[in-house]
Amino acid sequence: MLRKTRSGPGLDCSAEEWEARVELACAYRLFDHFGWHSLIYNHITLRIPGPERHFLINPFGLMYREVTASNLIKIDLDGNKLSPSPWEVWEAGFVVHSAVHRVREDVRCVMHTHTVAGIAVASQAEGLLPLDLTSLLFTNRIAYHDLEGITTDRAECARIAADLGNKSVMILRNHGLLTCGPTVADAFQEMYQLEQACRVQLAAQSSGANLNFPSAEVAQKTAVRGDVGRDSAMAKLNALQWAAMRRWMEETDPGFMN
């Protein structure tokens, strides 16, 4: 069954694609609210349900607060536009995303940020430290990828994918943060917690006090509960939280649904 959108000339899509568009547009508005944007740069991508390897991405040139369900661009794995749009796709941004989408069938959503806290921790030799309850959720769950410059080289995709492996969280050294998951809800929860952990680390370090590190046993015990791939209860909690986030945006910034 096809559902015609309320805006966006020439856009006809299935009910499943339309729901994916609304979900992704909601994520962009949330990122804007939290300040997790780089003006018109950076991306969140989502694979459209179905056998085709088609994805949704933001139009290059729009702020996150301008992204709507109907102006998201449908693309293939090479970044080619599959839906009409006057906007272009930023190739340098999609290289990071395509690296994950190309090899991970279990991943539908990929999020990437350049926040101050994320880049600051990504620039530290030891990366994220096991300091607080939130950071402990990521014990042995974070992949790292060394900076290779601006990500315009598609050959870097294979190296990003190899470094990520089967994990859902990556710190791109001297660059930023990346999370992914089977749903927008899962990828968002990982990003929210990772960003919070980075902010806590910087605050703790800036205090000048001696840092207290929980035991390795406590860290591993905590991490198991944070891994959606190993704990189905976490997936349910992520979905519950995302429903609340969606209600929040529908109340405060409903334009994303257009």
pLDDT 10s digits, 177-211: 999 999 999 999 999 999 999 999 999 999 999 99
The dotted CATH code for 2-253 is 3.40.225.10
How many helices, marked H, and strands, marked E, lie in the chain?
8, 9
pLDDT at 5 over 80: no
Run of H or E including 34? helix 15-34
**What are the strands, taking DSSP E only, across the chain?**
2-4, 12-14, 44-47, 55-57, 73-75, 109-113, 142-145, 169-172, 176-181
The total of other beta-carbon atoms located within 10 Å of residue 200's CB is 19
What per-residue string of b and e applies to 177-190 under the rule 16 or more CB within 10 Å gives b?
bbbbbbbbbbbbbb
Query: What digits encode the pLDDT tens for the residues 51-85?
Result: 889 999 999 999 999 999 999 999 999 899 998 89
pLDDT at 229 (0 to 100)? 58
33 alpha carbon, distance to own chain's centre: 15
- Nearest Cα neighbor of 183 from 242, 143, 127 is 242
Poorest-confidence range of 32-46, 101-115, 141-155?
141-155
Mean pLDDT within 3-17: 64
CA distances to 41, 55, 176 from 45, rounded to whole Å, are: 13, 7, 16
Task: Give me the mean pLDDT over the 7-16 stretch.
Answer: 69
Q: Give the distance from CA 132 to its chain's centroid.
A: 22
- pLDDT confidence of residue 10: 52
DSSP readout, 91-144? HHHHHHHHHHHTT-TT--EEEEE--HHHHHHHTSTT-S---SHHHHTTTTTEEE
pTM, 2 dp: 0.91
CA distance 1 to 201: 49
CA–CA separation, 108 and 156 (whole Å): 20
